[in-house]
Amino acid sequence: MGVKGASRSGFLTVRPRLAGGVKVLELPKRLLVGRPLRSEWLGDTLLPKKLALPVFCSDPLSSNAYATEEILLMLSLGGLALLHLAPWVAAVVIALLLVVVASYRQTCHAYPSGGGAYAVSRANLGRNASLVAASALLVDYVLTVAVSVAAGVQNIVSAFPALAPHAVAVSIGMIVVLALMNLRGVKESGTAFAVPTYGFIAVVLVMIVTGFVRMLAGNAPQAESASYGIVPASHVTGLAVLLLAMRAFASGCTALTGVEAVSNGVPNFKPPKSHNAAATLAIMGGVTVAMFAGITVLALTSHVHVSDTPSRLIGAPAGYEQRTVIAQVAGAVFGGYHTVGFFAVQAFTAAILVLAANTAFNGFPILASLLGHDGFLPRQFSRRGDRLVYSNGIVILSALAGLLIWVFHASTTRLIQLYIIGVFVSFTLSQAGMVVHWTRQLREPASTQSKPSMHRSRAINGFGAVFTAVVLVVVLITKFTHGAWLVVIAMPAVFALMKGIRRYYDRVEVELTPGPGGVTLPPRVFAIVLVSKVHTPTLRALAYARATRPTSLTAVTVATDQEASDALLLEWTEREIPVPLKVLHSPYRDVTGPVLEYVKDLRRTGPRDLVAVFIPEYVVGHWWEALLHNQSALRLKARLLFQPGVMVINVPWQLGSAEVLEARRIEPPAALPVRKAGERVRPGSPV
């Protein structure tokens, strides 16, 4: 049917048929993300330990690329004289890492549903403590993505200096790629990231073994900076030495970032979930300690000298470009900067630094889903997307990390100062919560776990809580004036936001809860049908309105064109339509105002009465067809929705283009394959 002149008064909304548009938009989405997965296939996305390691542990593993360097950079502020403290600082970092790993292994067994510090604090320390832990982790996950990607791009820029002006764009592009990989699914991202992760572990361990063999053979490697001296930034003695050592320790604690991600993601492991998660944590801890200790020993024995500014290096040639510690160690061990071993270390280091962000891409969405389920974040965070991942969390994390990259110009030096404070807040609360958990378990006479085992677990968590609390104070003091104050502001802001969201949900729930008598019937219902022209959609809307049997029914039109209004009245009379037509005059040609005033007048006659407004709507087959029709009724509809006691009813009519599109969309079902009894449906199989 035609619709010529169908919307002079704007009382006909137009909606494009979504099927065609969605199909066009779905094609690139399916190419990038993949086909949707059925809910019952969730078990097929669970991770074995070999894939869980690159998915959840890429961040702590990648920190070996810069943890030793951060320690040496801080100690170098006092000159070469303080580098003898590096082994002691590294030893304390290793001890702390082992304590935290042991503590989170307990968490994996005690809370197999995941959630890490948030779940532990919620169960044992109360709502506020759990939200503090959650805010710390959310902020830290965003920083993890920003720092990891910026550090990886910095290594790429070192190899290709021409990319330096485009560091921000490259970094944001990397975040987009990571987001797309994770939107494809946890298992797919684990498979894609396994090669760079295991490759990094392999080349670093080969470098360490080669370096140790050379040391035992009496041919210890020498770094290119071994002969350079370092001018102290200031004269450091007494208490200043202790403070500098504490600052070096705080910087070295970057080796612990991401450890908690495994305890957050226990539900993503294959059964037995807790056992596999704890085993993955143990593997990660052992590998990280071996790599961190090995790189530190080689850096010290090869006499790597680094400084925050190359100008403080004594004896360095003019224009000297300072390489990273791991690059200098690789060059010294493998015999130069043009060897296969050196390029392998650099390539896998750059890859793992970028992929370290993947730990956050798995931790953030899971934590956000728990917070959404509990009402502290928008509910949509708790829902899985097409690929059975929490896609809303992945998208938000990508956007926030990209914003940080843009604001800080992809500067690792500036971003690193914001790092790890949130980590130790969550560490401390998690371990304190586990102490309360074990104390409660010890009081339960029916506990299945042995008392000595629980006492041992409580001692581990208690020591971990004290240790991480002390480190938190140290980190906060040493990093506060260097930019960490931003995190101190961000965490309370996120905390307040989550509290506000929960208050909103609680208020809405109270408002929506029906009273003892339920909802009473309205005394009267005044029905209005908006009319622009006498055509099939209008007549159908009138017919439907009459079928609802309201108390009264009136057709309403707005006279913005007197000639058109007279013609409408004449046709209305000739057709003998059994519904009175009300003409609202509008000297300023406004459609919305007169209708709203008319509706308000009806509401004033009886506050408990309802006004039902029927709006004819035709559905077009293409988006561009909607542009050719008047859309003023959409504005009126939006205004009516905010009027109390007013119901807005759309009465659709499909145009020919929409019907053709629907016919093309419907395809005959394919023959279903015959399955054997008990045969499992795999992802990608026809159903």
The structure tokens listed for 357 are 């962000």
Per the document, the length of the chain is 687
Concatenate the DSSP letters of all residues of 65-131 into one string.
GTHHHHHHHHHGGG-GGGGGGHHHHHHHHHHHHHHHHHHHHHHHHH-TT--HHHHHHHHHT-HHHHH
Rounded to whole angstroms, the Cα distance separating 101 from 287 reads 12
Rounded to whole angstroms, the Cα distance separating 582 from 182 reads 58
The structure tokens listed for 486 are 């931003």
Rounded to whole angstroms, the Cα distance separating 419 from 430 reads 19
Q: Yes or no: say if 349 and 65 are a contact pair by the CB < 8 Å rule.
A: yes
Which tens digit of pLDDT belongs to each residue from 37-65? 555 555 556 778 888 888 788 888 888 88
Q: Yes or no: say if 401 and 145 are a contact pair by the CB < 8 Å rule.
A: yes
Q: Yes or no: say if 2 and 522 are a contact pair by the CB < 8 Å rule.
A: no
| Number of Cβ within a 10 Å radius of residue 598 | 18
Q: Which of 389, 349, 427, 396 is nearest to 47 (CA)?
A: 389
Q: What's the pLDDT at 517?
A: 72
Rounded to whole angstroms, the Cα distance separating 570 from 565 reads 9
Predicted structure pTM score: 0.73
Q: What's the pLDDT at 156?
A: 75
Rounded to whole angstroms, the Cα distance separating 72 from 76 reads 6
Instruction: Give the Å distances, CA to CA, from 76 to 21, 330, 434, 604.
Output: 60, 21, 38, 79
The structure tokens listed for 263 are 């305890």
Q: What's the pLDDT at 686?
A: 34
Rounded to whole angstroms, the Cα distance separating 614 from 618 reads 13
Radius of gyration of the chain measured on its C-alpha atoms: 33
By CB neighbour count within 10 A (0-12 exposed, 13-18 middle, 19+ buried), where does 147 fall? buried
Q: Yes or no: say if 423 and 260 are a contact pair by the CB < 8 Å rule.
A: yes
Q: What's the pLDDT at 669?
A: 44
**SS3 assignment for 316-336:** CCCCCCCCCHHHHHHHHHHCC
Q: Which of 62, 114, 139, 136 is nearest to 397 (CA)?
A: 139
**What kind of fold does domain 13-18+521-664 have according to CATH?**
Rossmann fold (3.40.50)
Scanning 259-313, the segments in alpha helix (DSSP H) are 261-264, 273-301
Residues of the chain with pLDDT under 50: 1-9, 19-24, 667-687
Q: What's the pLDDT at 616?
A: 87
Please list the residues that pair with 345 across neighbouring strands: none
Q: What's the pLDDT at 665?
A: 56
Helix or strand or coil: residue 589? coil
Rounded to whole angstroms, the Cα distance separating 280 from 154 reads 30
With residue 15 as reference, give the H or E element that holds it: strand 13-16
Bridge pairing between strands 646-654 and 229-230: unpaired
Which tens digit of pLDDT belongs to each residue from 103-152? 888 888 888 877 678 888 888 998 999 999 899 889 888 988 888 888 77
Rounded to whole angstroms, the Cα distance separating 9 from 11 reads 6
Q: Which of 396, 375, 376, 394 is nearest to 386 (CA)?
A: 394
Residue whose token pair is 């905390």: 495
**What kind of fold does domain 58-316+325-436 have according to CATH?**
Amino acid/polyamine transporter I (1.20.1740)
Rounded to whole angstroms, the Cα distance separating 591 from 581 reads 16
Q: Which of 435, 433, 467, 438 is nearest to 453 (CA)?
A: 438
The structure tokens listed for 295 are 């790189």
Every domain of the chain and the residues it spans: 13-18+521-664, 58-316+325-436
Rounded to whole angstroms, the Cα distance separating 676 from 134 reads 47
Rounded to whole angstroms, the Cα distance separating 600 from 605 reads 9
By CB neighbour count within 10 A (0-12 exposed, 13-18 middle, 19+ buried), where does 529 fall? buried
For the stretch 163-168, contacts whose Cβ atoms lie closer than 8 Å and that sit 24 or more positions apart, written own/partner, are 167/409, 167/410, 168/405, 168/406, 168/409, 168/410
Q: Which of 672, 684, 675, 680 is nearest to 43 (CA)?
A: 680
Rounded to whole angstroms, the Cα distance separating 633 from 629 reads 11
Task: Return all residues near 686 (Cβ < 8 A) that are at least 6 apart.
Answer: 670, 672, 673
Share in percent of the chain as helix, strand, coil (round to 5)? 65, 5, 25
